[in-house]
Structures are given as C-alpha cells and as structure tokens.
Chains A and B, each alone.
Chain A
Amino acid sequence: MRPMPLALVLSSALITSAQAAERAVDPAVAALAERIRALEANAQILQKQAADALAAAQAAQAELQEMKAVRQDAPVAAVASNGTASPSASANAFNPAISLILNGLYENHSQDPVNYQRAGFPLVGEGGPGTPGLHLGESELSFAANIDDKFYGQLTLTMESEDGETHAGIEEAYIETTALPEGFTARAGRFYSNIGYLNSHHTHTDFFSDRPLAYQAFLGNQYGDDGIQLRWVAPTETYLEFGSEAFRGENAPAGGAAHSGVGVKTFFAHAGGDVGVENSWLAGASILRADSTGGEDGFSGRDNVYLFDFTWKWAPHGQFKDAGIVVRSEAFLDDRKGIVVDPADPDALGQAWDGQRRGAYIEGLYRFSRSWDAGYRYDKLWAASAGPYASDFDPQRSTAMLTWHNSEFSLVRLQLAHDQPQPHFIDNILTLQYQVSLGAHGAHKF
C-alpha cells in the first residue's frame, strides 16, 4: 500500500507545477502558435511552387520532344526511316545479344601427354596437359538478353573436338534477377561458381592459354555446376560483396551429386577499391564444401577448399588501354576427410584419407603498348606427406607469354611453359594461340 500515497503526492506535485508553468508561459505559447500558422502558410506556398516547377519541367520535356521531331539532320532521318521500315527488322529487334569466341592452338610438348602424371594430384576434370599439335580450342557461343523487367538470361554453349569427335556442351545456362532491392541478386541454373578470382571468369579472358595448376588440381580447371546463388553488395564506399551458393555436386571436386543432389555449398566475400587514380585492387576469401560419393579421383567424403585471391592493377591515369601492370595471386587449401578407392580398380579396398594439400600461383601482366602484353606466371602445388596421394615432391611450373592484340576483339598469343609435375619429368611446352570474339560487344569483369 505504500506506493499509493507516494504516487498521489507525486502526481499532485506535477499537476501544480504544470499549471504554474502554463500560466507563466502563456504569451510565449501564443507566439509559438502564431509562428506555426505562419510556417504552415509558408509550406503551402512552397508546395505550390514545387508543383509548378514539376509542371514546368514536364513542359520542358514536351518541348524537347518537339525539338527532336522538328530538328532534322537530313542524313540521319533518312537512315532512321530506312531502318524501321521492314517488319522483319523490328521482329528481330528482340533477339538476344549473340557473341561467339573462336580459338585455335598449336602446342609442342617435349613429353608425350600420355605419360603425364602429377605427383600427389590425380588429374581431374579438364585439369591435364593440352593436346599436342594443331587443334581447335574451345569455341563458345553465347546468347544473352533481358527476359522481362525482372530477369536476365544467358546461355553459353561450347563446342570442342576431342579425338576426332565433336562435343557440344552447355557451359552456362542461367537466369538472374535484375530488380531485387537493396543490392541483392539471385541466380539459378548452370553457372561457374563465384569463388576465388579466375573461377567465375571465362577462360577467354585469362592472360594465359591454360589455367593455373591449383585450378587444375583442386577445381578440375574451373568449377561450374547446376545450382543457385544469392549475392549482396554492401552500400559502402569500399566495394564489399558477400554471397553463397548451393550446387548439385556432380563435377570435380565433388562427385556423385551427394545429399540428394545438393552436394556443394560455397560462401564467398570480395572487397575492392582504388588507391588514387592509378591503382585498383580486389581481394577475396571463399570456401567450397563438397560432399563426394565416388568422385573422379576415387574420393568419397568431405572436401573443404579454401581460396584467397588478390589482384592489383596499375595504369597511368587509370587508363589500362595503352599501358599498365596487373599482379594477381591466389592461394588454395584443400582439406579432405574420407576414403579413396582406386578409380581404375573399384573392387580394391578403400584407403582412409584425412589430410591437406595446398596450391598457389602468382602472375603478372605488363601491357607495354596498345597492342602488346607480356606476362609471367609461377605455379606450385604442395602435396600431402601421408595418405593415398602422399608425395615428397611438389609439382611446379613457370610460364611466360607474349600477346598481340589487333583490336579489342582479336589476339594472337605465344606461350612458353616449363612444367615439372614429377621429380624427373620435365615438359617444355610451346603454345601458339589465336582467339577472337565476334558479335555483341562483351563487357568484362575487373
């Protein structure tokens, strides 16, 4: 019962003080009320002004439309009317942008690729040595367009000759949202994972004619699969992107589409920015968790691949067209726990494996004129010291290249590589490659 009288005393005290205040401030309140009325009137005038301005702006736009119609630059008008006359042209106007990549190589190997084995790293996916002699590289045909106001779609087909047979494949086929709010983008279909740096880039944008050894060993050259992706760009001055993916898990480093066909999950984060006008950087950290059942290398179990990537670009005045330097490095850690069964002998007893392997590369590109690039890359893989793929030797490779661009659509590349996949096995490779792009002008990622 004690709080009750206390509350009464308090409330009465409050009331009396409030009454006192009201009496004392009365003229001030009146003045305030007067000001509010004035402000309200003012706001109404402002509102009217804004509406008038909008009307005037609309009038200006109408005037502009008129100007456009009246101002006739004769030759332009003639071309425009020619262009829109035929009905077939307007039907084709909605065709997707089509682009085509053609690519051919000559390779000279000092060792027969049949004998090629990499100590500690069985060859998976397309991660082996190239074909000797003259041959056609991967030809790529890509269609892309906005589907409607909310979706974008892309299909990339590849055609490749192997042992005299032509293989066609769906490299990428996905849809992507264009209208999610707050910097979110979702993607579904078949596509290359956004982990690391090179993985999401098509090989025709690479500096070299083949992928780094770490990509070959840990991702089967490039990890793409059927899946979904959600990514988010933060509203910050420094570029920050986070995302996650779920994949079927059919391709290396996964296998057998584990977990009812959701065998791979990834997380990735990328950050980037400028330092002054002439320098830009991009860095990332990613993880790929694959559950395999009977993978290409005979592995069943859990595989965690950690990737760290870093790119630095310098160009005078920030203009990479005529000159510049790019330095890039990616490091891989492959952590496995499971069982390996020799894929050549499926009835053999499985061998338990719990171990780590690592890989890294560093590459530099120097553009010394509009038409010429020179580059160097050093690759290394660190094998496991125990387990089914134990090796005391760590494979390594050095690659140098020189590229001539006639325009942004064509290049010819000379590449020399010194590849040591085993202690007493050295493959010296000379590669001569042309690569061109036809059709729609592609926009490349940084």
Chain B
Amino acid sequence: MRKMLLWMIVVTFAISSPVQAKLRVFACEPEWGSLLAELAGDAITVDVATSALQDVHVVEARPSLIAKMRQADLLVCSGAQLEIGWLPQLLMQAGNAKVSSGAGNFMAASQVMTLEKPASVDRSAGDVHPDGNPHVQLDPYRVLAISKALAARLAELDAANAATYQQRLGDFEARWQAAIKVWEAKAAPLKGKAVVVHHSSWIYLLQWLGMHEIGSLEPKPGVPPTSAHLSSLVDVTKSGAAIAIISAAYQDSKPGEWLSGRTGVPALVLPFTVGGDDQARDLFGLYDSTLDKLLGVLK
C-alpha cells in the first residue's frame, strides 16, 4: 500500500511536470478576471472561480477550485469577508503557501476605503460584513485605484514582465479615465433618483451616480425576501418615486417582479459583474450596460 502511494505521487509529478513559466492567477470574481486581462493580457494565466450567475457569498468549495488554488501564484479576490464561506476552506485544503498570505494574496477591498463599515456587528441585522461592504467593483474610481495596486503587485511577483504590466496599466488608465468622463456625462439625468434594491450590493454605484436607495427586497442582508416585507415596500416604492427595482443577474427575479406588478415601477436586472449580460463582456461593457439599463427606465 505504501509503495503504491509512492508510485502514485511519482506518476502525478511526471504528469504535471511541464514547468509553467507564466504567472498563474486565481480570480475569485469575474470583474477581477477582466481587470487582470486588461493589465496583463497573455502574460499570465487566469482562472476565474465564479460566474455572474452565482452568488459569490455562498459558493461551494469545489474540488476543481482546490486544484486551481493549488497551482496559483497570485490570488485576487474582493475580500472584506465576501468569500468567507469558501475561500478559507480552499486555502486550507490546497496547501499553497504562496497565496495564503503575503504578496500572493491580493484583496481588492483592502486597497480602498469601504463603505457601510458597521460600528458594531450583530447577526440579527442579517449577514453584515465587519470590514464594510465588499461590492466595490461598481465604483470606477475604486476600480482605478485597485488597478494601480494590482499592476504593482503583478510587477512585484513577475519582475520579468514588469514593463508590460506598467505599459498596459497606462493604457487601461487612459481608456478608463476617458470612459468615466463619458459615463458621468451620460448618467447626469440619474442624479438624485431613487431605487429599491434586492440586496445591499449597489451602494458604490449609487454613491458614484448620486442616486439613493429607499428600500431593500431583503428584510436584512442575506435573508430572503418575505411576502410581509415585500407588502410593506409597496407604499415606500410609490411614495419615494423609485425609478426602478434593481437586482443582480444571479438573484431571484420573482420578488422584484411581484413588487413591480403592485407599484408599476419597472423591475430591472443589472449585470452586477462581468458576464452578467451579453453587453457586459468586460469591465467597460459592465458599466455601459448598467448605465444603459438605468437610463432606459427614465425614457
């Protein structure tokens, strides 16, 4: 039996021997996969762990993800406890010291100020995050700050390609700054408008656009919408003059549609991350699609 085990180890080493010179990056969410593609192109290999149709808070620690984590040189995640239900388990099982801490561990939310950092935490308030709201990908300024930190991290881990990362960051930054100007001009009519949200995951987008949230379909973050709570939202939605009831592509659209039917306020499914709809093929498309859909309900 012991001999067999040894042979198995030898054989697996032999199978897996091809040396991977390229940096291999494990991205927890599609938005960071897209950002990595902007900053590194073909210089790295990226594994994206989740899709826009999954709630990244409750992903399963699947064996395939352990295998990917085992081979990663860098881990890029939102952080702020968003992935707490599965990422620690992957790290514990993969036995990859390169990414469990230090330079190989990059948490996007730690690179910027987070909003909604609670003064005290209590689960009776739902699934709250002590490190603040982790859904930072919908504020273009935060994305820009994260891109700079990420490019620096890539250069630190892979000095041979440092020039590439720097050059691509410059290119991305120029296009992103230009896009922000276009988006802000386009989104001007949304300023001051109110929305009802499914889950408290839109704060960064709303803050950037000068919009505000007047209600949430979930009675508490992470607690599924109940009919009693939805009924209580009917008046709020009408009197608050909400322009839309917004939910993400991965969320159940039924509660939003129910409220929409009672109030006449359109239910809007936004991509939330890259891959959330046909237009959101990269970070630029994500913002284009989000703004187009929001502006669409004003017409």
CB-based contact A408/B58 at 8 Å: yes
**B15 CB, nearest partner CB in chain A, Å:** 7
A-B contact count (CB 8 A): 202
**Chain B interface SS verdict (over half):** helix
CB within 8 A of B159: which of A50, A60, A232, A317?
A: A50
Of chain B, the residue at the smallest CB distance from A274 is: B64
Contact A73 B89 (CB under 8 A): no
Pick the most buried of A60, A67, A152, A318: most chain B CB atoms within 10 A of its CB.
Answer: A60
- Is B81's CB within 8 Å of the partner chain A? yes
- Nearest chain B CB to A395 CB, angstrom units: 30
Q: A198-221 toward B: CB 8 Å interface, digit per residue (1/0)? A: 000000000000000000000000
Residues of A204-244 at the interface with B, using a CB-CB cut-off of 8 Å, are: 231-242, 244
Q: A79-B119, A181-B97, A407-B222 are in contact. Are A280 and B63 (CB under 8 A)?
A: yes
Q: Is there a chain B Cβ closer than 8 Å to A308's Cβ?
A: no
The reply to whether A443 and B61 contact each other, CB–CB distance below 8 Å, is yes
Q: B71 — nearest CB in chain A belongs to which residue?
A: A235
Residue pair B67, A238 in contact (C-beta under 8 Å) = yes
In the bound complex, how far is the Cα of B119 from the Cα of A80, in angstroms? Answer: 8
- Chain A CB within 10 A, most for which of B51, B67, B100: B67
Give the distance in Å from the alpha carbon of A60 to the alpha carbon of B162 in the complex.
13
Chain A: minimal CB distance from B57 (Å): 8
* Interface presence of B5 (CB below 8 A): yes
B223-A407 in contact (CB<8A)? yes
Does A167 count as interface, using CB distance less than 8 angstroms? no
Contacts of B119 in A (CB 8 A): 79, 82-83
Among the listed stretches B150-158, B235-243, B262-270, which one makes contact with chain A, having 4 or more residues with CB under 8 Å of it?
B150-158
Interface assignment of A33: CB less than 8 Å from any CB of chain B = no
Query: Can you name the residue of chain B whose Cβ is closest to the Cβ of A181?
Result: B97
**CB closest residue in chain A, given B133:** A76
In chain A, positions 380-410 with a C-beta closer than 8 Å to chain B are 406-409
For the residues of A in contact with B, the DSSP-based class is mixed
Interface size on A, residues (CB 8 A): 81
Of the candidates A64, A273, A319, A441, which one forms a contact with B85 in the assembled complex, judged by CB atoms under 8 Å apart? A441
Whether A319 pairs with B156 at a CB distance below 8 angstroms is: no
A49 on the interface (CB 8 Å rule)? yes
Q: Is the CB of B97 within 8 A of A64?
A: no
**Known A76-B117, A443-B87, A445-B89; contact A64-B111, beta-carbon cutoff 8 A:** yes
- The docked-state distance in angstroms from the alpha carbon of A282 to that of B145 is 40
**A23 in contact (CB, < 8 A):** no
Give Cα A371 to B151, complex, Å.
42
Question: Knowing A53-B166, A244-B5, A371-B224 touch, does A233 contact B95 (C-beta < 8 A)?
Answer: yes
> Measuring CB to CB, which residues of chain B are less than 8 angstroms from any residue of chain A?
1-2, 5, 8-9, 12-13, 15-16, 51, 53-55, 58, 60-64, 66-68, 70-71, 81, 84-89, 92-97, 100-101, 111-115, 117-119, 123, 126-127, 132, 145, 148-149, 151-152, 155-156, 159-160, 162-163, 165-167, 169, 222-224, 250, 252
Task: State the 6 A-B residue pairs at the shortest beta-carbon distance, nearest first.
Answer: A272-B63, A239-B63, A443-B89, A317-B53, A53-B166, A57-B152
* Residues of A participating in the B interface, judged by any CB pair closer than 8 Å: 46, 49-50, 52-54, 56-58, 60-61, 63-64, 67-68, 71-73, 75-77, 79-80, 82-83, 149, 152, 176, 178-181, 183-185, 231-242, 244, 267, 269-274, 277, 280-282, 287, 313, 315, 317-322, 370-371, 406-409, 438, 441-446
